[in-house]
């Protein structure tokens, strides 16, 4: 059995305590590997790609690499050797606020393989100390000074947008893409999410904790219907989540009203109109 190189293998549901991937799955992430399946000889049949998503790992990896193997059913119900890949989230593996078929795949997999993907919230700049500091991946993505940004394009808009490259027309940070070998235009892909794990704070001052941000912002339903002053205000609430997964709820830590923020390029953001601006507390 191949040793798992997953940096958080102890949290993998399909790795044993020694880091060896030893579960039998059917290509959908289900444990009934020997369950009979109807034969489907058509390659237009549904390609099965199981993706394990974990946002908890913060290990600094340079690139994706296979981490282990397991028996899995692929197309046509045949048992085969399934590989396990790992893709970290950093300035080399993410794109911000858009999709594009021209992006280079971060990893290429066979139908039925597993991929663990690190993810980042685009609101990590709302509290740098809790959600960015000490995390090499997050720091590389959110880096921004007068000379460069870790990830320059943020959105699908023009590169010379008035708010910044991409003009904030799309805000979410995407890790990938992942290419499934043999998939063609028009195919239907089945993707199973096996597990989701919170990304813990890498700041020693907040060890064992995970944080998230909720923005009651200008695009929200109630923004123009507020009854108290100041009206048309944006409020950020920082929440704490138990990174050890002993508690299944979030607890509000504090909130603050958004005030005009000036980014390193001198652009003033009177509202939350461009992702990744580090809030000056």
List, for residues 150-168, the tens digit of each pLDDT value. Answer: 999 999 999 999 999 999 9
Beta strand spans in 54-102 (E): 65-73, 79-87, 94-96
Tell if the pTM clears 0.85, that is, is over it.
no
> Across the strands, what pairs with 191?
49
Phi, psi angle pair for 270, to nearest 5°: -70, -30
Check if the beta carbon of residue 45 is closer than 8 Å to that of residue 54: no
Check if the beta carbon of residue 36 is closer than 8 Å to that of residue 78: no
Chain centroid to Cα 161, Å, comes to: 25
List, for residues 24-65, the tens digit of each pLDDT value. Answer: 444 444 444 333 344 444 433 334 433 444 444 332 223 333
Cα(281)–Cα(279) distance, integer angstroms = 6
Residue 221 pLDDT: 87
* Rounded alpha-carbon distances, angstroms, from residue 19 to 15, 84, 89, 150, 202: 5, 12, 21, 32, 22
Chain centroid to Cα 109, Å, comes to: 18
List, for residues 89-107, the tens digit of each pLDDT value. Answer: 999 999 999 999 999 999 9
Q: Which residue would you say has higher pLDDT here, 242 or 160?
A: 160
Residue 214 pLDDT: 96
Mean pLDDT for the chain?
81
Render 176-193 in DSSP notation, one character per residue.
--EEETT--TT--EEEEE
List, for residues 174-207, the tens digit of each pLDDT value. Answer: 999 999 999 999 999 999 999 988 899 999 999 9
Residue 12 pLDDT: 55
Residue 264 pLDDT: 98
Taking the domains of the chain in order of start, what are their residue ranges? 9-200
Q: Could you check whether the bond before residue 124 is cis, i.e. omega within 30 degrees of 0? A: no
Q: Could you give the percent of the chain with pLDDT greater than 90?
A: 64
């Amino acid at each position: 059995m191949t040793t798992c190189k997953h940096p958080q293998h102890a949290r993998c549901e399909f790795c044993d305590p020694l880091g060896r991937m030893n579960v039998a799955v059917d290509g959908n992430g289900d444990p009934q590997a020997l369950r009979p399946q109807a034969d489907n000889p058509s390659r237009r049949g549904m390609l099965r790609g199981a993706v394990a998503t974990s946002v908890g790992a913060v290990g600094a990896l340079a690139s994706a690499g296979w981490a282990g193997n397991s028996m899995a059913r692929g197309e046509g119900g045949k048992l085969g050797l399934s590989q396990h890949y790992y893709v970290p989230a950093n300035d080399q593996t993410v794109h911000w606020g858009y999709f594009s078929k021209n992006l280079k795949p971060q990893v290429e997999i066979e139908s039925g393989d597993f991929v663990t993907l690190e993810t980042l919230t685009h609101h990590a700049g709302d509290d740098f100390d809790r959600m960015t500091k000490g995390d090499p991946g997050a720091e590389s993505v959110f880096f921004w000074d007068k000379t460069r940004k870790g990830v320059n394009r943020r959105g699908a808009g023009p590169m010379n947008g008035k708010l910044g490259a991409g003009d904030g027309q799309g805000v979410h940070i995407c890790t990938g893409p992942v290419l499934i070998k043999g998939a063609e235009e028009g195919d239907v892909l089945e993707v199973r999410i096996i597990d989701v794990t919170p990304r813990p704070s890498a700041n020693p001052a907040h060890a064992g904790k995970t944080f998230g941000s909720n923005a009651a912002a200008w695009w929200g339903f109630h923004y123009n219907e507020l009854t108290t002053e100041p009206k048309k205000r944006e409020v950020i609430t920082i929440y704490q989540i138990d990174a050890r997964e002993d508690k299944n709820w979030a607890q509000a830590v504090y909130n603050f009203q958004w005030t005009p923020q000036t980014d390193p390029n001198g652009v003033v953001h009177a509202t939350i109109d461009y992702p990744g601006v580090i809030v000056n507390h």
